[in-house]
Amino acid sequence: MQKIETYYTKLRKEVAEKLKRTMESPSDFDYLSVQIKKEINEDLSASTLKRFIGYVSKNIAPSNTTLSILSRYLGYMGWTDFCKVSESDFITDYSIITSDLSSGDIVKFEWNPDRVYEAEYKGNGQFVITMAQNGTLKVGDTFSASSFTLNHPLYLSHIQRATKGESTASNYVAGYKSGLTHIELIKKN
């Protein structure tokens, strides 16, 4: 399921980029629906688009029809073609690579809705959370990460919870729908 979510995320991102809109208001979805009809003469309702983009809660996977129409809107032959072409891609968005950090450096990272964290690099790919707002992870929790990349999900592993009695999950994904919305490296003094 993780791989398919990566394709969904890439499709969402490419649609927003083509449309040159952030997909944050109902009018964005109405506009996208009209553009799809104009450009490829196919119908996708604004409500279907809202569910796929994540503007409203979704409990079901998008249909192949929805995925194929959006793929054709982007210039692919369909959903299968989009996935085939999307198997590999260079990451051109801004990244902070863990191996480039020094012990004591702080990485600030954010994702929707309103999740804000700072983590101190301890060395050997390990971080400790030093500031946490509005999320599941807490100050003192530790994790491993190889990189932080803007507009991409953040995959954390080897999580150790600081609070006794809280369950320890071995892996966690932050920003799986729209990726990290802000990353910043704060060098130690």
Q: How far apart are CA 78 and CA 65, in angstroms?
A: 9
Better-scored residue on pLDDT, 177 or 81: 81
| Mean pLDDT within 156-163 | 87
| Structural domain spans, the chain | 2-85, 95-186
Identify the band that residue 170 occupies on the pLDDT scale cut at 50, 70 and 90: confident
Out of 88-102, 135-149, 161-175, which region has the weakest mean confidence (pLDDT)? Answer: 161-175
Letter string b/e over residues 67-100, b meaning 16 or more CB atoms within 10 A of that residue's CB: bbbbbbbbebebbeebbeeeeeeeeeeebbebee
Q: What percent of the chain has pLDDT over 70?
A: 90
pLDDT per position as a tens digit, 98-148: 999 999 999 999 999 899 999 999 999 999 999 999 988 999 999 999 999
Tell me, what amino acid is at 152? Answer: H
Identify the band that residue 1 occupies on the pLDDT scale cut at 50, 70 and 90: very low
pLDDT at 74: 92
pLDDT at 27 over 50: yes
Are 39 and 73 in contact, with CB atoms under 8 Å apart? yes
Identify the band that residue 49 occupies on the pLDDT scale cut at 50, 70 and 90: very high
pTM comes to 0.56
